[in-house]
Structure 1
Amino acid sequence: MIKKLKILGIILGTCLALYVAWYVYRFIFVEDISMVPKEEYISKSISPDKAYTIRFYRANGGATVDFAMLGIMENKDGEKRRMYWEYPCREIKEVKWTKDTVTINGTKIKVWSQVYDFREGIYEAE
């Protein structure tokens, strides 16, 4: 009976370690911000011409890491794109729109054509 409990403990411990390793890997190495969970809706910002809307979500990393902020842009046709990921970030302090760009907390991004990821900086959207 004790041998079976030890084997079960080893299996469960291995599964837990693999689960934690996968989430650490996704957070540090996976460059696609589509993997970022959107958890708590914070606010939205609409462009002056009403062509684009950005909705901001705060992701809670748990007790060991800080909050991250995710911005999802939607055009007037209903297409959505994850375009902003800041870590650590607890709140969106400013959003300024111009004709071709949006500035979020001091980061200037071209509307619909660029993505900001705190690990990589600004890059062209796919």
Structure 2
Amino acid sequence: MDLEHNKSNAKYEKKKFNTLIKVLLIFGLLFLALVGYGFYWAFFDMNRLPTGEYLTEEISPNGKYTIEAYVTNGGATTAYSVRGELVFNDKDNKTKNIYWNYREDSADISWRDNNTVIINGHTLDVRRDKFDFRNQ
């Protein structure tokens, strides 16, 4: 009878250990995901770019979009950067950053068609593309 009790106790302990391992694994993966997102948010999220000083703007041929360009000065130890902001003229002027390039202090913007813009030689479809020098 004592042998059966020991086997039962061993199975219970093994099951308890396996559950503990699973819980630790899940929490570990959640922690890594949180740290990864935090790293992305802190260093690569285009919504956190500095505002900068207004340079120029160009309206799309159909008037649906406007690209506004801003230059940012990172201080004495970094070069100027250009930020391109897409303005949705027909959606209460909502905006999103679609262009960010380092070592630039001017913006040459031209529209190829209603949805394609060229900013300093980089061609972007404003419906889905972004250019960020940090991801190149």
Cα RMSD (Å): 1.7
Instruction: Indicate the residue corresponding to 1:44 in structure 2.
Output: 57
Q: Where do 5+ consecutive residues of structure 1 fail to align?
A: 1-25, 122-126
Partner secondary structure for residue 86 of structure 2: strand
Instruction: Indicate the residue corresponding to 1:14 in structure 2.
Output: none
**Counterpart amino acid of 1:48?**
P
Q: Where do 5+ consecutive residues of structure 2 fail to align?
A: 1-38
Instruction: Indicate the residue corresponding to 1:117 in structure 2.
Output: 132
1:55 aligns with 2:68: yes
Partner secondary structure for residue 34 of structure 1: helix
TM-score, normalised by the number of residues in structure 1: 0.68
Structure with bigger gyration radius: 2
Instruction: Indicate the residue corresponding to 1:12 in structure 2.
Output: none
Worse-superposed segment, 92-101 or 71-80: 92-101
Query: Is contact 2:61-2:111 (8 Å) kept?
Result: no
Report matched runs for 1:2-41 at 5 Å. 30-41=43-54
TM-score, normalised by the number of residues in structure 2: 0.63
Measured in 2, the distance between the counterparts of 1:96 and 1:89 equals 20
Q: Percent identity?
A: 31
Q: 1:5-63 CA distances to partner (integer Å, 9 max, x unpaired)?
A: xxxxxxxxxxxxxxxxxxxxx8xx71111111112111111101110001111110111
Higher strand fraction (1 or 2): 1
1:64 aligns with 2:77: yes
Match of 2:87 among 74, 80, 97: 74
